[in-house]
Structure 1
């Protein structure tokens, strides 16, 4: 069954996709576009550009959409569960104290995994650039996007880069496109899309009233995490101040607990939104903590997936409009620029901190380019190399 294939594939990605949302897009591209060919490079570019516009974590939304394309609604659910569960479980174990990221072994492991993320993102940028910026005009759009993403503070730079790419595409790219935009093989009707939007609005508007009327703690938690997920523009990191500002969370989780969980979330694979599971677990005690962690995790993801389902069927309806195609060509070029900017910082700046991680990153990049190893194998090699670095550099005895 395709849904089983989707689950296995995304579980592997969920365990190995270190490095944050940009790195996730690189892992997806390597595994699902280049190797498995679930979608073409152009279709993948469409998905990434579309998800950049929607609230929520773009990498999780792209993964959900890829699961939907491959295996329908069951495949979409399988992709989300498999990609999300490993990091959520690791963060809950961190909250219990069963997982520690300190010490020479942990530090060395992180050196290797961050270096691998550099190689994977660089490989993805290289492959996407060849397909999405094939001419001088789109190269220039990508260069402008790099500058905006690097020098405009916060996530506004990424949104500005996409907006500039759309405008430039409308001006420059209308005569460059000789082929129609490829349709996304979706099983979502417009009726379902409209229904998803209605459910999104009803929950966003209705949960606060229900929480106030019933004074039920479970409804209050669901409302807090749902609202935080619904209002996140610009990536997973933006959800942190929204979660921190929710009274029901602030009253139950100390500042020290919040910051400790945030630090752990940076080190685990998978989406940053799984930080919600950590917070939910910290807000309760005993067996209730596990249930509240699950509620928080689902609540923070539901709104962004509803918005994606609402948008996808209408995208296929307009994709071959000449202006839409030109705008998307510019937006795709901007996506390449945004990924390049993210490769520069924070991926390289945080991942290449010395000669050893530089050697690991270059070696892993060459393995991806020439040996064509799958990303999971390169992650394993990088992790082992990082462990060896940790044993020597951070003081673990060999005997």
Structure 2
């Protein structure tokens, strides 16, 4: 389990760019380099994460860890990938915005956003070649990207995933072999999820940390896709308990640090708990991630069996194509549109692509290149 933790811990320090970029980092590491999963198995995990509430990319990492080492492997993967962002968000919560607002910090983060463009583009190209192999699948991919770009909303995304699943089901291979085992969900995580949703609110007055747990657990239960979608929910939860400027500072910090956007909960939990800020940060962090992981465990143990059913396999083929379309849309908005602001930025992306695909340099080398490019731009400006 230590080996799983170490690999994800290393990724946690360099995974800039949000959920779509994380999916790219995971694919490059665990499909191409380490070959823990096939492209098809990986795409199924990505598709599953899109249908469940919770932090999408963190759920994919959790599922990869589960695939490799069971529940302890899943927990190791989560801790490894999330710990760097949690530590950084704690540090930024303590020093507040004293460093975040500096021009040098902005330039470095801008350089790392350009790295995210390269990583996501690489992931899209690899997944497109694997899952868009017929005219129907290419059509589903492009239609999904177009629809999300024109009508960007979570409702649109869920409707598209349902529609592409239906089309994949209708166009499935009728001769697909049925699995030898019967699918049975894991009920205990579901029972625990329902219990944590209902019971703790009854004891809000017992401890000041219980309301924090309840609020962030409910937020994690209602967010599909993760990432920036969790921000308005957390903003509603915080309400008047936190100054707007402090919330915006936390949001900026969550975008700047590597790892999951859900680490914003660490910052907010620290600020909301005056009596024990470190405990508040820990409780908020666990609470916001926990619902998505519990729901994932309901089906994850038998997911391979479920995915072998002809109807499910057909639906997944359509969803896999749609996921590529979702990544294409995410590549433009918010990744490309918020990162590429000048011809120099585009030139740096092309150099990064050359370093990654032609010279095949490791991610750490690319991180160093884009940090240096940010520092150079700061010095020149």
Q: TM-score, normalised by structure 2?
A: 0.94
Aligned residues of 1:148 and 1:160 also touching (Cα < 8 A): no
Distance 1:53 1:210 in 2: 31
- Matching residue within 366, 375, 378 for 1:387: 375
Cα deviation per residue 1:245-279 (whole Å; 9 max; x = unaligned)? 23xx3353222211211121111111011111101
Counterpart of 1:319 in structure 2 is 307
| Inter-CA distance 111–259: structure 2 relative to 1 (3 Å threshold) | closer
What is the DSSP-based 3-state SS (H/G/I as helix, E as strand, rest coil) of the residue aligned with 1:245? helix
What is the DSSP-based 3-state SS (H/G/I as helix, E as strand, rest coil) of the residue aligned with 2:242? coil
How many angstroms does 1:18 deviate by? Answer: 0.6
Counterpart of 2:155 in structure 1 is 156
Distance 2:176 2:375 in 1: 50
How many angstroms does 1:178 deviate by? Answer: 6.9
How many angstroms does 1:170 deviate by? Answer: 1.7
Counterpart of 1:56 in structure 2 is 54
- Matching residue within 307, 328, 335 for 2:316: 328
- Matching residue within 233, 239, 257 for 1:242: 233
What is the DSSP-based 3-state SS (H/G/I as helix, E as strand, rest coil) of the residue aligned with 2:345? helix
Distance 2:49 2:170 in 1: 23
Counterpart of 2:42 in structure 1 is 44
Q: Which runs of 5+ in 1 are unaligned?
A: 184-188, 394-399
Residue 277 (structure 2) pairs with residue 279 (structure 1): no
Matches for 1:210-289 after TM superposition, within 5 Å: 210-211=203-204, 214-246=205-237, 249-285=238-274, 288-289=276-277
Matches for 1:106-255 after TM superposition, within 5 Å: 106-174=105-173, 193-211=186-204, 214-246=205-237, 249-255=238-244
94-103 vs 77-86, greater mean Cα deviation: 94-103
Distance 1:113 1:86 in 2: 16
What is the DSSP-based 3-state SS (H/G/I as helix, E as strand, rest coil) of the residue aligned with 1:11? helix
Aligned residues of 2:39 and 2:130 also touching (Cα < 8 A): yes
Residue 344 (structure 2) pairs with residue 356 (structure 1): yes
What is the DSSP-based 3-state SS (H/G/I as helix, E as strand, rest coil) of the residue aligned with 2:16? coil
Total equivalences in the alignment: 378
How many angstroms does 1:206 deviate by? Answer: 1.4
Once superposed, what is the RMSD of the aligned Cα atoms?
2.1
| Inter-CA distance 156–219: structure 2 relative to 1 (3 Å threshold) | same
What is the DSSP-based 3-state SS (H/G/I as helix, E as strand, rest coil) of the residue aligned with 1:68? helix
How many angstroms does 1:158 deviate by? Answer: 2.0
Q: Which runs of 5+ in 2 are unaligned?
A: none
What is the DSSP-based 3-state SS (H/G/I as helix, E as strand, rest coil) of the residue aligned with 1:13? helix
Q: TM-score, normalised by structure 1?
A: 0.90
Aligned residues of 2:56 and 2:224 also touching (Cα < 8 A): no
343-352 vs 309-318, greater mean Cα deviation: 309-318
| Inter-CA distance 64–391: structure 2 relative to 1 (3 Å threshold) | same
Cα deviation per residue 1:193-231 (whole Å; 9 max; x = unaligned)? 2100100011111122232xx443221111111111111
Distance 1:373 1:157 in 2: 37
98-107 vs 269-278, greater mean Cα deviation: 98-107
| Inter-CA distance 178–34: structure 2 relative to 1 (3 Å threshold) | farther
Distance 1:180 1:267 in 2: 46
Counterpart of 1:396 in structure 2 is none
